[in-house]
C-alpha cells in the first residue's frame, strides 16, 4: 500500500485513539481496492467474506431496500468505516455499498481484525464505539421520520453533508455529494417529488442552489435554523 494511503488509513476513525505501535502492527494486513463510479463493494442479500472497509478517497453510498423497492441511504466519506457488522455477525449483507465517484478503500479480513483487536481490549472498544455511533444515528433518523417534517429532515441532512463534505467558496459552501435525487430522497426518507418541492422552496428563499450531484449552500445559518424546527 502506498505510503500516502497508509498515512490516511492510520488517521481513520478506526484507529482514532489507538497507540502508534498498535496501528503499525495491523496496517500491513490491509489490501487496497480501487473502485470506479458505480462499482459495488458488496450487495444486499449476498454472503461475502467477513471484511471491514475504510474509505480512503471518494464517496460510498450505503443503501438498504425493502421487498417493495423502498430504500434508505447514507453517505460514507474518507476516513469512515463501513461493512464492519460482518466482522461481528457474519452472514448475508443487509445493505448494498456502491461507489458514487471514483474511490479507493482499504480492506481488512475480519479474522485479521479480531486477531489483532481482541488481545488489545482498548482497541476492541474502538469498534464498539463506531458501532454505537452508527446505532445512535439510526435511532435519531427513526425518530425524525416519526416526529419531524420533511423540510426539517432535508435541512438537517444538507447541514450534515456540508459539515462532512463542504468546501467554502465565494458563493457559499460547495457540497459535491454525488448523490442522485432518488438517493438524496432516500436519505431524507421521502419521495423524489417531495424532495424536489423542498429543494425548490429552499432555493426560492435564497438558501441554496442545487445541481446534479452537488449544491451550494448560500445561507447556512437559515438552513441550520430550519433543521432545528419541525412544522409537523
Span(s) in the chain for CATH 2.60.120.10? 3-145
CATH number of 3-145: 2.60.120.10
Model pLDDT, residue 230: 57
The Cα-based distances of 17 to 13, 27, 51, 119, 129 in angstroms read 9, 15, 22, 16, 11
The pLDDT of residue 232 is above 50: no
Span(s) in the chain for CATH 1.10.10.10? 149-227
pTM, to two decimals: 0.81
Summarize pLDDT for 80-139 with one digit per residue, the tens. Answer: 999 988 888 778 888 899 998 899 999 999 999 999 988 888 887 777 777 787 778 777
CA gap 20, 181 in Å, rounded: 42
Give the CATH architecture of domain 149-227: Orthogonal Bundle (1.10)
Residue given cell 438558501 in the structure block: 207
Across the chain, mean pLDDT equals: 88
Sign for the pseudo-dihedral over CA of 1, 90, 69, 189: negative
The pLDDT of residue 187 is above 80: yes
Here the cell at position 12 is 481513520
Can you tell me the mean pLDDT for 164-184? 90
Helix, strand or coil for residue 111?
Answer: helix
The pLDDT of residue 69 is above 80: no
Amino acid at each position: 500500500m502506498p505510503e500516502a494511503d497508509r498515512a490516511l488509513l492510520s488517521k481513520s476513525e478506526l484507529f482514532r485513539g489507538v497507540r502508534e505501535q498498535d496501528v503499525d502492527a495491523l496496517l500491513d494486513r490491509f489490501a487496497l481496492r480501487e473502485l470506479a463510479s458505480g462499482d459495488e463493494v458488496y450487495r444486499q442479500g449476498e454472503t461475502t467474506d467477513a471484511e471491514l472497509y475504510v474509505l480512503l478517497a471518494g464517496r460510498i453510498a450505503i443503501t438498504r431496500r425493502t421487498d417493495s423497492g423502498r430504500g434508505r441511504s447514507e453517505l460514507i466519506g474518507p476516513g469512515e468505516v463501513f461493512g464492519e457488522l460482518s466482522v461481528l455477525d457474519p452472514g448475508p449483507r443487509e445493505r448494498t455499498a456502491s461507489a458514487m465517484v471514483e474511490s479507493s478503500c482499504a480492506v481488512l479480513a475480519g479474522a485479521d481484525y479480531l486477531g489483532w483487536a481482541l488481545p488489545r481490549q482498548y482497541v476492541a472498544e474502538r469498534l464498539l464505539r463506531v458501532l454505537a455511533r452508527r446505532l445512535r444515528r439510526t435511532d435519531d433518523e427513526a425518530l425524525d421520520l416519526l416526529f419531524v417534517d420533511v423540510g426539517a429532515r432535508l435541512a438537517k441532512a444538507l447541514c450534515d453533508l456540508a459539515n462532512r463534505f463542504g468546501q467554502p467558496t465565494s458563493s457559499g459552501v460547495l457540497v459535491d455529494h454525488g448523490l442522485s435525487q432518488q438517493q438524496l430522497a432516500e436519505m431524507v426518507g421521502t419521495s423524489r417529488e417531495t424532495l424536489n418541492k423542498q429543494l425548490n422552496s429552499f432555493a426560492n428563499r435564497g438558501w441554496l442552489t442545487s445541481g446534479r450531484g452537488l449544491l451550494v449552500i448560500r445561507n447556512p445559518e437559515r438552513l441550520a435554523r430550519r433543521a432545528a424546527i419541525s412544522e409537523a
